[in-house]
Amino acid sequence: MTDISEADTAFLGGGRIHNDRPFKAVGIAVLTISDTRDEDSDTSGDVLARRIEFAGHIVADRGLVRDDIDAIRAKVMAWVGSGRIDAIITTGGTGITGRDVTPEAIEPLLNKRIEGFSTLFHMLSYQTVGLSTLQSRALAGIINGVFIFCLPGSNGAVKDGWDKVIRWQLDSRHGPCNMVELMPRLTET
């Protein structure tokens, strides 16, 4: 990973990149949750995968499941149990319609919820989509030592979530602190 330029740091959320710190690539799985998309039409998953790789991380796996609680949980728990995934980012199913079940699938699996993620996502999303951000139930947490971030399914929401929050918290050079430095301690008791 090369040093980050000022153009890459247009949004750092009050933090900064310490280029004297080593960059640690994170293994990230991307899960698209949709009843209407397939591998060819999964634009939000494509946007997210490209951004993950551009930032120097590894797209460790990628999947697509229907809006089905059991299918979502099965895929997520298989990745959590694999030992090769540090973070999971889902796209889709966080809305308020009857078929949107990502939060219902994920919340019971969480060991810890990262409350500030939803708040911060909505603050940033408001700048892009205004009051429509109310229709999202974006969330984040930890499942058995693996971070999970659940984003809405639109390309814009994926860009907001990754570009303005997740990218920087998964960059080991971000300060004053980042989530990568916490990874070795996520399962301590």
- Model pLDDT for residues 45-56, shown as the tens digit of each residue: 999 999 999 999
CATH number at residue 105: 3.40.980.10
DSSP assignment string, the chain: -PPPPTGGGS--TT-EE-TTSPP---EEEEEEE-SS--TTT-HHHHHHHHHHHHTT-EEEEEEEE-S-HHHHHHHHHHHHHHS--SEEEEES--SSSTT--HHHHHGGG-SEE-HHHHHHHHHHHHHHHGGGGGG---EEEEETTEEEEEE-SSHHHHHHHIIIIIHHHT-TTEES--SGGGGGGTT--
- Model pLDDT for residues 30-42, shown as the tens digit of each residue: 999 999 998 899 9
44: containing domain = 25-181
Query: Which ranges of the chain have pLDDT less than 50?
Result: 1-7, 10
User: What global pTM score does this model have?
Assistant: 0.93
Looking at the structure of the chain, the number of domains it has is: 1
Q: Is residue 125 part of a domain?
A: yes
